[in-house]
Structure 1
Amino acid sequence: MDVGGVEREYRKRRKLPRAYLLLLGAVMLNALLQTGRLQSGRDHGGLQIWASGATALLVVAAAVRATLEQYRAHTRVTAVGITAQWPLRSHTWAWHEVYDIRVQPSPRGSGRLAPQWLTHLYDMEGRRFRLPHLDDWQLDDPFAEVSALCLAAAPYRSLAWERRPQVEERIVRRAAGRKAWTWAAYSTLAVLFAMYAVDLWQVAVGRPEHPFLLLVCVPLAFFGVFGTGLQRYWTARPPRSLAQQP
Protein backbone atom coordinates (compact mmCIF):
# COMPACT_ATOMS: atom_id res chain seq x y z
CA MET A 1 0.00 0.00 0.00
CA ASP A 2 1.35 3.40 -1.04
CA VAL A 3 0.43 5.43 2.04
CA GLY A 4 1.33 8.77 0.49
CA GLY A 5 -0.43 8.22 -2.85
CA VAL A 6 -3.73 6.91 -4.11
CA GLU A 7 -2.45 3.50 -5.23
CA ARG A 8 -3.61 1.07 -2.55
CA GLU A 9 -4.75 -2.52 -2.17
CA TYR A 10 -6.56 -3.90 0.85
CA ARG A 11 -6.41 -7.65 1.45
CA LYS A 12 -6.58 -9.97 4.42
CA ARG A 13 -3.55 -9.33 6.59
CA ARG A 14 -4.74 -10.67 9.93
CA LYS A 15 -6.06 -14.07 10.94
CA LEU A 16 -9.71 -14.47 11.84
CA PRO A 17 -10.44 -14.25 15.58
CA ARG A 18 -10.54 -17.63 17.30
CA ALA A 19 -14.05 -16.94 18.63
CA TYR A 20 -15.31 -16.47 15.06
CA LEU A 21 -13.75 -19.74 13.91
CA LEU A 22 -15.16 -21.62 16.90
CA LEU A 23 -18.65 -20.24 16.28
CA LEU A 24 -18.50 -21.07 12.58
CA GLY A 25 -17.30 -24.58 13.36
CA ALA A 26 -20.05 -25.12 15.93
CA VAL A 27 -22.75 -23.98 13.50
CA MET A 28 -21.45 -26.26 10.73
CA LEU A 29 -21.07 -29.22 13.08
CA ASN A 30 -24.62 -28.79 14.34
CA ALA A 31 -25.93 -28.56 10.77
CA LEU A 32 -24.09 -31.74 9.78
CA LEU A 33 -25.40 -33.57 12.87
CA GLN A 34 -28.94 -32.49 12.06
CA THR A 35 -28.46 -33.67 8.47
CA GLY A 36 -27.24 -37.05 9.69
CA ARG A 37 -30.18 -37.34 12.06
CA LEU A 38 -32.62 -36.70 9.24
CA GLN A 39 -30.90 -39.25 7.03
CA SER A 40 -30.98 -41.93 9.73
CA GLY A 41 -34.60 -41.33 10.75
CA ARG A 42 -37.23 -43.99 10.19
CA ASP A 43 -39.49 -41.81 8.10
CA HIS A 44 -37.70 -40.86 4.90
CA GLY A 45 -40.45 -38.63 3.58
CA GLY A 46 -39.91 -36.21 0.76
CA LEU A 47 -39.75 -33.22 3.12
CA GLN A 48 -37.03 -34.85 5.25
CA ILE A 49 -34.92 -35.68 2.21
CA TRP A 50 -35.36 -32.15 0.87
CA ALA A 51 -34.45 -30.59 4.23
CA SER A 52 -31.40 -32.83 4.56
CA GLY A 53 -30.10 -31.93 1.10
CA ALA A 54 -30.77 -28.22 1.60
CA THR A 55 -28.95 -28.21 4.94
CA ALA A 56 -25.89 -29.93 3.51
CA LEU A 57 -25.85 -27.51 0.57
CA LEU A 58 -26.06 -24.48 2.87
CA VAL A 59 -23.19 -25.78 5.00
CA VAL A 60 -20.95 -26.26 1.95
CA ALA A 61 -21.94 -22.86 0.53
CA ALA A 62 -21.17 -21.12 3.84
CA ALA A 63 -17.75 -22.75 4.07
CA VAL A 64 -16.86 -21.85 0.47
CA ARG A 65 -18.04 -18.27 0.87
CA ALA A 66 -16.09 -17.77 4.11
CA THR A 67 -12.93 -19.07 2.42
CA LEU A 68 -13.35 -16.89 -0.66
CA GLU A 69 -14.13 -13.86 1.50
CA GLN A 70 -10.78 -14.23 3.23
CA TYR A 71 -8.46 -15.17 0.37
CA ARG A 72 -10.08 -13.82 -2.82
CA ALA A 73 -11.93 -10.67 -1.80
CA HIS A 74 -9.99 -7.39 -1.81
CA THR A 75 -10.27 -3.69 -2.59
CA ARG A 76 -7.95 -2.01 -5.08
CA VAL A 77 -7.59 1.74 -5.47
CA THR A 78 -5.88 3.42 -8.44
CA ALA A 79 -5.85 6.81 -10.09
CA VAL A 80 -8.63 5.55 -12.36
CA GLY A 81 -11.03 4.45 -9.63
CA ILE A 82 -11.89 1.76 -7.10
CA THR A 83 -12.33 -1.98 -7.72
CA ALA A 84 -14.12 -4.14 -5.18
CA GLN A 85 -13.53 -7.87 -5.61
CA TRP A 86 -16.09 -9.86 -3.64
CA PRO A 87 -16.08 -13.66 -3.24
CA LEU A 88 -17.71 -14.31 -6.65
CA ARG A 89 -17.90 -11.03 -8.55
CA SER A 90 -16.23 -7.66 -8.85
CA HIS A 91 -17.09 -4.10 -9.81
CA THR A 92 -15.05 -1.05 -10.73
CA TRP A 93 -16.12 2.58 -10.26
CA ALA A 94 -14.43 5.51 -11.94
CA TRP A 95 -13.83 8.36 -9.54
CA HIS A 96 -16.60 10.50 -11.03
CA GLU A 97 -19.06 7.67 -10.25
CA VAL A 98 -18.17 7.63 -6.55
CA TYR A 99 -20.36 9.83 -4.38
CA ASP A 100 -18.82 9.05 -1.00
CA ILE A 101 -16.84 6.51 1.03
CA ARG A 102 -18.05 6.06 4.60
CA VAL A 103 -17.02 4.01 7.62
CA GLN A 104 -20.20 2.84 9.31
CA PRO A 105 -21.10 0.57 12.23
CA SER A 106 -21.74 -3.04 11.34
CA PRO A 107 -25.33 -4.18 12.09
CA ARG A 108 -23.97 -7.42 13.59
CA GLY A 109 -20.56 -6.31 14.81
CA SER A 110 -19.56 -7.44 18.27
CA GLY A 111 -15.84 -6.75 18.16
CA ARG A 112 -14.93 -10.45 18.39
CA LEU A 113 -17.38 -12.32 16.16
CA ALA A 114 -17.61 -9.68 13.42
CA PRO A 115 -16.05 -6.30 12.56
CA GLN A 116 -17.57 -3.37 14.39
CA TRP A 117 -16.85 -0.92 11.55
CA LEU A 118 -17.26 -1.51 7.82
CA THR A 119 -16.47 0.74 4.87
CA HIS A 120 -19.07 1.32 2.17
CA LEU A 121 -18.88 3.06 -1.19
CA TYR A 122 -21.94 5.05 -2.30
CA ASP A 123 -22.54 5.81 -5.96
CA MET A 124 -24.51 8.71 -7.40
CA GLU A 125 -27.75 6.71 -7.30
CA GLY A 126 -27.43 6.17 -3.57
CA ARG A 127 -26.52 2.49 -3.89
CA ARG A 128 -24.26 1.09 -1.18
CA PHE A 129 -21.43 -1.39 -1.71
CA ARG A 130 -19.14 -2.86 0.91
CA LEU A 131 -15.41 -2.48 0.29
CA PRO A 132 -13.75 -5.76 1.39
CA HIS A 133 -11.12 -5.70 4.14
CA LEU A 134 -11.52 -2.01 4.84
CA ASP A 135 -12.67 -2.66 8.40
CA ASP A 136 -11.40 -2.66 11.97
CA TRP A 137 -10.37 -6.33 11.72
CA GLN A 138 -7.77 -5.60 9.05
CA LEU A 139 -6.92 -1.95 9.82
CA ASP A 140 -5.90 -0.35 13.09
CA ASP A 141 -7.89 2.81 12.30
CA PRO A 142 -10.30 2.53 9.34
CA PHE A 143 -11.50 6.13 9.88
CA ALA A 144 -8.02 7.55 9.43
CA GLU A 145 -7.37 5.28 6.46
CA VAL A 146 -10.55 6.32 4.64
CA SER A 147 -9.90 9.99 5.38
CA ALA A 148 -6.41 9.66 3.91
CA LEU A 149 -7.81 7.76 0.92
CA CYS A 150 -10.39 10.44 0.15
CA LEU A 151 -7.75 13.16 0.48
CA ALA A 152 -5.40 11.31 -1.88
CA ALA A 153 -8.21 10.71 -4.41
CA ALA A 154 -9.40 14.33 -4.47
CA PRO A 155 -7.12 15.39 -7.40
CA TYR A 156 -8.57 12.60 -9.57
CA ARG A 157 -12.19 13.60 -9.06
CA SER A 158 -14.09 16.22 -11.01
CA LEU A 159 -16.38 16.72 -8.00
CA ALA A 160 -15.75 17.75 -4.42
CA TRP A 161 -16.45 15.45 -1.47
CA GLU A 162 -19.64 17.23 -0.41
CA ARG A 163 -23.14 16.17 0.58
CA ARG A 164 -25.89 16.51 -2.03
CA PRO A 165 -29.51 16.52 -0.82
CA GLN A 166 -30.84 14.48 -3.75
CA VAL A 167 -28.26 11.74 -3.34
CA GLU A 168 -28.70 11.74 0.44
CA GLU A 169 -32.44 11.24 -0.04
CA ARG A 170 -31.78 8.25 -2.30
CA ILE A 171 -29.40 6.81 0.28
CA VAL A 172 -32.04 7.06 3.01
CA ARG A 173 -34.70 5.45 0.80
CA ARG A 174 -32.42 2.53 -0.05
CA ALA A 175 -31.44 2.15 3.61
CA ALA A 176 -35.13 2.01 4.51
CA GLY A 177 -35.60 -0.80 1.98
CA ARG A 178 -32.69 -2.79 3.41
CA LYS A 179 -33.99 -2.32 6.94
CA ALA A 180 -37.49 -3.40 5.91
CA TRP A 181 -36.35 -6.66 4.30
CA THR A 182 -34.01 -7.39 7.20
CA TRP A 183 -36.88 -7.09 9.66
CA ALA A 184 -39.04 -9.15 7.32
CA ALA A 185 -36.42 -11.92 7.37
CA TYR A 186 -36.25 -11.91 11.18
CA SER A 187 -40.05 -11.96 11.43
CA THR A 188 -40.24 -14.80 8.91
CA LEU A 189 -37.96 -16.90 11.12
CA ALA A 190 -40.41 -16.37 13.98
CA VAL A 191 -43.29 -17.41 11.73
CA LEU A 192 -41.33 -20.50 10.63
CA PHE A 193 -40.82 -21.58 14.26
CA ALA A 194 -44.52 -20.99 14.92
CA MET A 195 -45.51 -23.11 11.92
CA TYR A 196 -43.12 -25.83 13.09
CA ALA A 197 -44.91 -25.83 16.46
CA VAL A 198 -48.26 -26.10 14.68
CA ASP A 199 -46.95 -29.03 12.64
CA LEU A 200 -45.81 -30.81 15.82
CA TRP A 201 -49.21 -30.18 17.39
CA GLN A 202 -50.94 -31.72 14.38
CA VAL A 203 -48.77 -34.82 14.71
CA ALA A 204 -49.47 -35.05 18.47
CA VAL A 205 -53.26 -34.88 18.11
CA GLY A 206 -53.38 -37.10 15.03
CA ARG A 207 -54.61 -34.46 12.61
CA PRO A 208 -53.62 -34.51 8.91
CA GLU A 209 -50.20 -32.93 8.34
CA HIS A 210 -49.46 -30.22 5.81
CA PRO A 211 -45.69 -29.68 6.24
CA PHE A 212 -45.07 -28.10 2.83
CA LEU A 213 -47.87 -25.60 3.35
CA LEU A 214 -46.84 -24.74 6.91
CA LEU A 215 -43.06 -24.75 6.58
CA VAL A 216 -42.63 -23.40 3.04
CA CYS A 217 -45.71 -21.65 1.66
CA VAL A 218 -46.78 -19.73 4.77
CA PRO A 219 -43.28 -18.31 5.62
CA LEU A 220 -42.57 -17.35 2.00
CA ALA A 221 -45.95 -15.63 1.62
CA PHE A 222 -45.45 -13.79 4.91
CA PHE A 223 -41.95 -12.69 3.90
CA GLY A 224 -43.14 -11.23 0.59
CA VAL A 225 -46.22 -9.46 1.95
CA PHE A 226 -44.68 -8.14 5.17
CA GLY A 227 -41.43 -7.07 3.50
CA THR A 228 -43.23 -5.20 0.72
CA GLY A 229 -45.55 -3.43 3.14
CA LEU A 230 -42.75 -2.46 5.51
CA GLN A 231 -40.60 -1.18 2.66
CA ARG A 232 -43.38 1.05 1.37
CA TYR A 233 -44.10 2.40 4.84
CA TRP A 234 -40.47 3.12 5.76
CA THR A 235 -39.69 4.55 2.32
CA ALA A 236 -42.49 7.08 2.80
CA ARG A 237 -41.63 7.68 6.48
CA PRO A 238 -37.95 6.82 7.04
CA PRO A 239 -37.05 5.98 10.65
CA ARG A 240 -35.20 8.75 12.46
CA SER A 241 -32.10 6.57 12.82
CA LEU A 242 -31.83 6.33 9.02
CA ALA A 243 -32.31 10.05 8.46
CA GLN A 244 -29.48 10.77 10.93
CA GLN A 245 -27.04 8.11 9.71
CA PRO A 246 -23.43 9.22 9.12
Structure 2
Amino acid sequence: MDEGGVGREYRRRRRPPLAYLVLPGLLVMNAFIQISRVSGDRGGDGGAGGRWGPPVFAVLLVLAVARVALEQFRAHTRVTTAGITAQGPVRARTWAWSEIYDIRVEQAPRGSGRAAPQWLTYLYDVQGRRFLLWQLNDWQVDDPYAEVAELCLAAAPLRSYTWEPRPDVEERIRRGAVRRRAWLWGTYGALGSMLVMLVVSFGLVVTGRPDHPFLLIVCVPLAAGVALGAVLQWYWGVRPPRSLTPQP
Protein backbone atom coordinates (compact mmCIF):
# COMPACT_ATOMS: atom_id res chain seq x y z
CA MET A 1 0.00 0.00 0.00
CA ASP A 2 1.34 3.42 -0.95
CA GLU A 3 -1.36 6.11 -1.25
CA GLY A 4 1.16 8.91 -1.32
CA GLY A 5 3.35 7.41 1.38
CA VAL A 6 0.55 7.11 3.94
CA GLY A 7 -0.96 3.75 3.05
CA ARG A 8 0.44 0.79 4.95
CA GLU A 9 -0.73 -2.33 6.70
CA TYR A 10 0.65 -3.98 9.84
CA ARG A 11 0.07 -7.72 10.15
CA ARG A 12 1.69 -10.57 12.03
CA ARG A 13 5.21 -10.93 10.72
CA ARG A 14 6.92 -12.77 13.53
CA ARG A 15 5.68 -15.87 15.32
CA PRO A 16 5.13 -15.53 19.07
CA PRO A 17 7.40 -17.47 21.45
CA LEU A 18 6.31 -21.04 22.08
CA ALA A 19 5.53 -20.20 25.73
CA TYR A 20 2.94 -17.65 24.55
CA LEU A 21 0.84 -20.50 23.14
CA VAL A 22 1.88 -23.41 25.37
CA LEU A 23 1.10 -21.73 28.69
CA PRO A 24 -2.62 -21.12 27.95
CA GLY A 25 -2.87 -24.72 26.73
CA LEU A 26 -1.39 -26.01 29.99
CA LEU A 27 -3.82 -23.87 31.97
CA VAL A 28 -6.77 -25.29 30.05
CA MET A 29 -5.51 -28.84 30.55
CA ASN A 30 -5.10 -28.22 34.28
CA ALA A 31 -8.63 -26.82 34.45
CA PHE A 32 -10.08 -29.99 32.93
CA ILE A 33 -8.02 -32.11 35.34
CA GLN A 34 -9.39 -30.09 38.24
CA ILE A 35 -12.94 -30.57 36.94
CA SER A 36 -12.48 -34.33 36.92
CA ARG A 37 -10.89 -34.34 40.36
CA VAL A 38 -13.58 -32.18 41.95
CA SER A 39 -16.36 -34.22 40.37
CA GLY A 40 -14.79 -37.44 41.59
CA ASP A 41 -14.05 -36.22 45.13
CA ARG A 42 -17.42 -34.57 45.79
CA GLY A 43 -19.70 -36.70 43.66
CA GLY A 44 -21.64 -33.65 42.54
CA ASP A 45 -22.61 -32.63 46.11
CA GLY A 46 -20.03 -29.93 46.69
CA GLY A 47 -22.49 -27.05 46.60
CA ALA A 48 -23.08 -24.47 43.89
CA GLY A 49 -19.46 -23.33 43.81
CA GLY A 50 -18.20 -26.92 43.65
CA ARG A 51 -20.60 -27.87 40.85
CA TRP A 52 -20.25 -25.02 38.39
CA GLY A 53 -17.10 -23.19 39.52
CA PRO A 54 -14.53 -25.40 37.71
CA PRO A 55 -16.55 -25.67 34.45
CA VAL A 56 -16.97 -21.90 34.30
CA PHE A 57 -13.24 -21.46 34.95
CA ALA A 58 -12.44 -23.93 32.15
CA VAL A 59 -14.77 -22.15 29.70
CA LEU A 60 -13.14 -18.81 30.48
CA LEU A 61 -9.70 -20.30 29.81
CA VAL A 62 -10.86 -21.78 26.51
CA LEU A 63 -12.22 -18.37 25.48
CA ALA A 64 -8.89 -16.77 26.45
CA VAL A 65 -6.97 -19.23 24.26
CA ALA A 66 -9.39 -18.60 21.38
CA ARG A 67 -8.84 -14.87 21.75
CA VAL A 68 -5.05 -15.32 21.63
CA ALA A 69 -5.39 -17.34 18.42
CA LEU A 70 -7.67 -14.73 16.81
CA GLU A 71 -5.30 -11.96 17.87
CA GLN A 72 -2.40 -13.68 16.17
CA PHE A 73 -4.07 -14.51 12.86
CA ARG A 74 -6.81 -11.88 12.47
CA ALA A 75 -5.83 -8.66 14.25
CA HIS A 76 -4.04 -6.02 12.18
CA THR A 77 -3.89 -2.27 11.51
CA ARG A 78 -4.55 -0.63 8.14
CA VAL A 79 -3.61 2.98 7.33
CA THR A 80 -5.03 4.84 4.32
CA THR A 81 -5.54 8.44 3.25
CA ALA A 82 -9.04 8.20 4.78
CA GLY A 83 -7.82 7.23 8.25
CA ILE A 84 -6.78 4.26 10.40
CA THR A 85 -8.61 0.95 10.86
CA ALA A 86 -7.73 -1.28 13.81
CA GLN A 87 -9.03 -4.81 13.25
CA GLY A 88 -9.11 -6.58 16.58
CA PRO A 89 -9.62 -10.30 17.25
CA VAL A 90 -13.37 -9.88 16.70
CA ARG A 91 -14.38 -6.33 15.74
CA ALA A 92 -12.86 -3.49 13.73
CA ARG A 93 -12.85 0.25 14.39
CA THR A 94 -12.02 3.07 11.97
CA TRP A 95 -11.00 6.68 12.69
CA ALA A 96 -10.84 9.46 10.14
CA TRP A 97 -7.70 11.61 10.38
CA SER A 98 -9.80 14.46 11.77
CA GLU A 99 -10.77 12.20 14.73
CA ILE A 100 -7.17 11.30 15.63
CA TYR A 101 -5.40 13.41 18.22
CA ASP A 102 -2.10 11.54 18.46
CA ILE A 103 -0.32 8.23 17.90
CA ARG A 104 2.12 7.16 20.63
CA VAL A 105 4.46 4.27 21.30
CA GLU A 106 4.29 3.22 24.94
CA GLN A 107 5.94 0.55 27.06
CA ALA A 108 3.83 -2.51 27.76
CA PRO A 109 2.76 -3.17 31.37
CA ARG A 110 5.43 -4.70 33.56
CA GLY A 111 5.48 -8.44 33.89
CA SER A 112 4.87 -9.25 30.22
CA GLY A 113 8.48 -10.42 29.80
CA ARG A 114 9.60 -11.90 26.50
CA ALA A 115 6.27 -13.64 25.97
CA ALA A 116 4.68 -10.42 24.68
CA PRO A 117 5.73 -7.23 22.86
CA GLN A 118 7.52 -4.70 25.04
CA TRP A 119 6.48 -1.60 23.05
CA LEU A 120 2.91 -1.05 21.88
CA THR A 121 1.38 1.69 19.73
CA TYR A 122 -1.82 3.46 20.77
CA LEU A 123 -4.12 5.85 18.96
CA TYR A 124 -5.61 8.70 21.01
CA ASP A 125 -8.77 10.28 19.66
CA VAL A 126 -9.76 13.92 20.14
CA GLN A 127 -11.64 12.92 23.33
CA GLY A 128 -8.44 11.57 24.89
CA ARG A 129 -9.51 7.92 24.64
CA ARG A 130 -6.82 5.33 23.95
CA PHE A 131 -7.02 2.44 21.47
CA LEU A 132 -4.46 -0.23 20.64
CA LEU A 133 -3.14 -0.37 17.07
CA TRP A 134 -2.76 -4.08 16.51
CA GLN A 135 0.59 -5.47 15.30
CA LEU A 136 2.26 -2.07 15.32
CA ASN A 137 4.74 -3.14 17.98
CA ASP A 138 8.35 -4.20 18.43
CA TRP A 139 7.55 -7.78 17.43
CA GLN A 140 6.28 -6.88 13.97
CA VAL A 141 8.16 -3.61 13.30
CA ASP A 142 11.91 -3.19 13.72
CA ASP A 143 11.65 0.33 15.15
CA PRO A 144 8.13 1.33 16.27
CA TYR A 145 9.23 4.87 17.18
CA ALA A 146 10.69 5.54 13.73
CA GLU A 147 7.68 3.93 12.06
CA VAL A 148 5.19 6.08 13.97
CA ALA A 149 7.24 9.24 13.39
CA GLU A 150 7.28 8.55 9.65
CA LEU A 151 3.55 7.80 9.67
CA CYS A 152 2.69 11.03 11.51
CA LEU A 153 4.84 13.06 9.13
CA ALA A 154 3.21 11.50 6.07
CA ALA A 155 -0.30 11.99 7.49
CA ALA A 156 0.19 15.65 8.51
CA PRO A 157 -1.26 17.07 5.23
CA LEU A 158 -4.41 14.96 5.71
CA ARG A 159 -5.29 16.50 9.07
CA SER A 160 -7.21 19.71 9.72
CA TYR A 161 -4.83 20.66 12.54
CA THR A 162 -1.25 19.97 13.57
CA TRP A 163 0.10 17.35 15.97
CA GLU A 164 0.64 20.01 18.65
CA PRO A 165 -0.56 19.03 22.17
CA ARG A 166 -3.83 20.46 23.48
CA PRO A 167 -4.09 20.96 27.29
CA ASP A 168 -7.71 19.79 27.57
CA VAL A 169 -7.05 16.55 25.71
CA GLU A 170 -3.80 15.97 27.62
CA GLU A 171 -5.71 16.26 30.91
CA ARG A 172 -8.21 13.63 29.77
CA ILE A 173 -5.33 11.39 28.71
CA ARG A 174 -3.74 11.83 32.13
CA ARG A 175 -6.96 10.85 33.89
CA GLY A 176 -7.24 7.80 31.67
CA ALA A 177 -3.66 6.79 32.53
CA VAL A 178 -4.44 7.14 36.25
CA ARG A 179 -7.56 5.00 35.90
CA ARG A 180 -5.77 2.25 33.97
CA ARG A 181 -2.84 2.13 36.38
CA ALA A 182 -5.15 2.01 39.41
CA TRP A 183 -7.21 -0.88 38.07
CA LEU A 184 -4.11 -2.71 36.88
CA TRP A 185 -2.88 -2.68 40.46
CA GLY A 186 -6.38 -3.65 41.56
CA THR A 187 -6.05 -6.72 39.33
CA TYR A 188 -2.66 -7.52 40.88
CA GLY A 189 -4.25 -7.20 44.31
CA ALA A 190 -7.07 -9.55 43.34
CA LEU A 191 -4.60 -12.14 42.07
CA GLY A 192 -2.53 -11.86 45.23
CA SER A 193 -5.64 -12.25 47.35
CA MET A 194 -6.62 -15.30 45.32
CA LEU A 195 -3.30 -16.98 46.08
CA VAL A 196 -3.74 -16.26 49.78
CA MET A 197 -7.29 -17.60 49.72
CA LEU A 198 -6.12 -20.76 47.95
CA VAL A 199 -3.75 -21.40 50.84
CA VAL A 200 -6.52 -20.68 53.35
CA SER A 201 -8.94 -22.98 51.51
CA PHE A 202 -6.34 -25.76 51.41
CA GLY A 203 -5.72 -25.32 55.13
CA LEU A 204 -9.45 -25.61 55.87
CA VAL A 205 -9.68 -28.82 53.86
CA VAL A 206 -6.65 -30.35 55.57
CA THR A 207 -7.95 -29.53 59.05
CA GLY A 208 -11.44 -30.81 58.24
CA ARG A 209 -13.19 -27.50 58.77
CA PRO A 210 -15.97 -26.21 56.47
CA ASP A 211 -14.61 -24.95 53.15
CA HIS A 212 -16.28 -22.25 51.03
CA PRO A 213 -14.24 -22.19 47.79
CA PHE A 214 -16.51 -19.84 45.85
CA LEU A 215 -16.56 -17.29 48.66
CA LEU A 216 -12.83 -17.53 49.37
CA ILE A 217 -11.42 -17.89 45.84
CA VAL A 218 -13.87 -15.71 43.90
CA CYS A 219 -15.73 -13.26 46.13
CA VAL A 220 -12.91 -12.21 48.46
CA PRO A 221 -10.31 -11.55 45.71
CA LEU A 222 -12.89 -9.70 43.62
CA ALA A 223 -13.84 -7.45 46.54
CA ALA A 224 -10.18 -6.84 47.39
CA GLY A 225 -9.32 -5.92 43.79
CA VAL A 226 -12.24 -3.52 43.44
CA ALA A 227 -11.44 -1.84 46.76
CA LEU A 228 -7.74 -1.44 45.92
CA GLY A 229 -8.46 -0.12 42.41
CA ALA A 230 -10.98 2.43 43.70
CA VAL A 231 -8.65 3.70 46.44
CA LEU A 232 -5.68 4.03 44.07
CA GLN A 233 -7.75 5.80 41.44
CA TRP A 234 -8.87 8.36 44.02
CA TYR A 235 -5.39 8.83 45.50
CA TRP A 236 -3.54 9.07 42.18
CA GLY A 237 -6.27 11.36 40.88
CA VAL A 238 -5.35 13.82 43.63
CA ARG A 239 -1.58 13.22 43.63
CA PRO A 240 -0.61 11.54 40.33
CA PRO A 241 2.93 10.16 40.06
CA ARG A 242 5.06 11.83 37.42
CA SER A 243 5.22 8.56 35.46
CA LEU A 244 1.46 8.70 34.94
CA THR A 245 1.63 11.99 33.06
CA PRO A 246 1.68 11.19 29.30
CA GLN A 247 4.45 12.81 27.35
CA PRO A 248 3.55 14.32 23.97
Q: CA separation in 2, counterparts of 1:60 and 1:24? A: 8
Q: CA separation in 1, counterparts of 2:204 and 2:247? A: 47
Range with bigger deviation, 83-92 or 35-44:
35-44
Q: Which residue of 2 aligns with 1:22?
A: 22
Query: Alignment partner for residue 98 of structure 1, among 91, 100, 103?
Result: 100
Range with bigger deviation, 23-32 or 4-13:
23-32
TM-score (structure 1 length as normaliser): 0.89
Contact preservation (8 Å) 2:16, 2:115: no
- Residues 174-233 of structure 1 show CA distances to partners (whole Å, capped at 9, x for unaligned) of 111011111111111222222333333333444443333323332222222222221111
Cα distance, 1:242 vs structure 2? 0.9
Q: Look up the SS of the partner of 1:112 in the other structure.
A: helix
Contact preservation (8 Å) 2:35, 2:54: yes
Size of the aligned set, in residue pairs, is 246
Q: How does 1:136-175 map to 2 (within 5 A)?
A: 136-175=138-177
Q: Does 1:189 align with 2:204?
A: no
TM-score (structure 2 length as normaliser): 0.89
- Residues 81-105 of structure 1 show CA distances to partners (whole Å, capped at 9, x for unaligned) of 1111111222111111111101111
Contact preservation (8 Å) 2:24, 2:61: no
RMSD over equivalenced CA pairs, Å: 2.2
Q: Name structure 1 gaps, 5 residues minimum.
A: none
Q: Name structure 2 gaps, 5 residues minimum.
A: none
Range with bigger deviation, 112-121 or 18-27:
18-27
Q: CA 1:21/1:198 → structure 2, altered by over 3 Å: closer, same or farther? A: closer
Q: CA separation in 2, counterparts of 1:235 and 1:35? A: 43
Cα distance, 1:244 vs structure 2? 5.7
Cα distance, 1:132 vs structure 2? 0.3
The structure 1 segments of at least 4 consecutive aligned residues displaced by more than 4 Å after TM superposition are 108-111
Q: Does 1:117 align with 2:124?
A: no
Cα distance, 1:108 vs structure 2? 4.2
Q: CA separation in 2, counterparts of 1:175 and 1:233? A: 13
Range with bigger deviation, 19-28 or 47-56:
19-28
Q: CA 1:128/1:244 → structure 2, altered by over 3 Å: closer, same or farther? A: closer
Cα distance, 1:110 vs structure 2? 5.4
Contact preservation (8 Å) 1:154, 1:160: yes
Q: Look up the SS of the partner of 1:104 in the other structure.
A: strand
